[in-house]
Amino acid sequence: MPELPDVEVFTRNLNSLFAGKQLLQVKIVNGQKLKAKPEAFAKALNGKTLKKIYRSGKEMRFEFTGGQLLGLHLMLTGDIFLLENEKERPSTIAAFYFKDGTGLVLTDRMKNAHITLDPVDKDGVDAISPELNFKYLKKALARKTTIKKLLTDQNVIRGIGNGYSDEILWEARISPYSVAAAIPDNKIKELAQIIKKVLKKETEKIYKNFTGKINDEVKSFLQIHTKGKTKSPTGAPIIIDQKGLMKTYYTKEQVLYK
């Protein structure tokens, strides 16, 4: 699932391409898992001008004139493509046709990606928001759950998933299996800074090196959570722990607080 850095890059590039354009039609191709009916999307969006596209956590927001907001969540296997020759791609969920002849297609072979009218954010603060500070994190960590589980809980912090939680925790030298409530204050202060540092740094790397990117996650820059490396930047062997479909990457450099 694309996390904050990838989604931030997608929305920047999509905004530069489509902001200010009038939407002629939104066409729902596979709406089985959508909460609103196709007619509701058409009534709310057709003929409206797209004011801007921005990120909210791991999701996208399309703001139209008249105050209408559309949420888009790629989930695990969703993708966005530019509409080419007015042909929809296989596994299309929805297609957006603009007045100037351009368009977008949302696809997902698993059919889980979705769009939502008037989306409501999860309760967590955005991971790069000023609100994510020591005070907020100290209160959020006062529970007996693992730090990795807490970092990936969108009702605590929005934008971080499996991959970047591993990156952040390695940078902070905190074991992903540490009990959140056992982490000392000095490490919580450090963690609040590292979360933003890692996410912002990776966002700029992707944006700079993948011009115009609007789909597919970039893992090549990651230090720990990547198949291409067996050791951390400091030479420690990378341990991969798989539970179900989730893989956790870490090293023995990271302190286990319990």
How does pLDDT run across 18-46, given as a tens digit for each residue?
999 999 999 999 988 899 999 999 999 99
In a domain, 258, yes or no: no
Instruction: Identify whether 166 is part of a domain.
Output: yes
The structure's pTM equals 0.95
Asked, for residue 222, whether it belongs to a domain, the answer is: yes
In the prediction, which pLDDT does 86 show? 62
Mean pLDDT within 194-198: 98
pLDDT for residue 89: 76
Q: How far apart are CA 121 and CA 243, in angstroms?
A: 28
pLDDT at 85: 67
Q: Which of 100, 117, 134 is the last residue of a domain?
A: 117
Domain end residue (candidates: 117, 144, 175): 117
Mean pLDDT, rounded, of the chain: 96
pLDDT at 87: 66
For residue 256, is it within any domain? no
What pLDDT is attached to residue 99? 96
- For 189, phi then psi, to 5°, come to -60, -45
Q: Give the mean model confidence (pLDDT) for residues 136-163.
A: 97
Q: Is residue 40 part of a domain?
A: yes
Say if residue 30 is in the same domain as residue 143: no
Lowest mean pLDDT among 24-38, 80-94, 109-123, 208-222: 80-94
Domain final position from 98, 117, 136: 117
Give pLDDT, residue 245.
84
Residue 56 CA to residue 126 CA, distance in Å, equals: 7
Q: Do residues 62 and 151 share a domain? A: no
Question: Do 157 and 79 share a structural domain?
Answer: no
Evaluate whether 26 touches 46 at the Cβ level (below 8 Å).
yes
135 and 110 belong to one structural domain = no
- What does the pLDDT look like over 80-91, one tens digit per residue? 999 876 666 789
Q: How many domains does the chain have?
A: 2
Please count the residues of the chain. Answer: 258
What domain range is 76 assigned to?
4-117
Bridge partners, residue 232, by sequence? none
The pLDDT score that the predictor gives to residue 154 is: 97
CATH number for the domain that contains residue 76: 3.20.190.10
The whole-angstrom separation of Cα 195 and Cα 248 is: 17
69-73, 81-85, 132-136, 231-235: least confidently modelled range: 81-85
* Residues 227-249, mean pLDDT to the nearest whole number: 94
Looking at the fold, whether 109 and 136 belong to one and the same domain comes out as: no
Residues 37 and 86 in one domain: yes
Residues 231 and 137 reside in one and the same domain: yes
Residues 245 and 129 in one domain: yes
Strand residue runs (E) in the chain: 23-28, 50-56, 59-64, 69-73, 78-82, 92-98, 103-108, 114-117, 125-126, 157-158, 239-243, 246-250
> For residue 157, which of 7, 1, 2, 4 has the smallest C-alpha distance?
4
Report the pLDDT value the prediction gives residue 43, as an integer from 0 to 100. Answer: 97
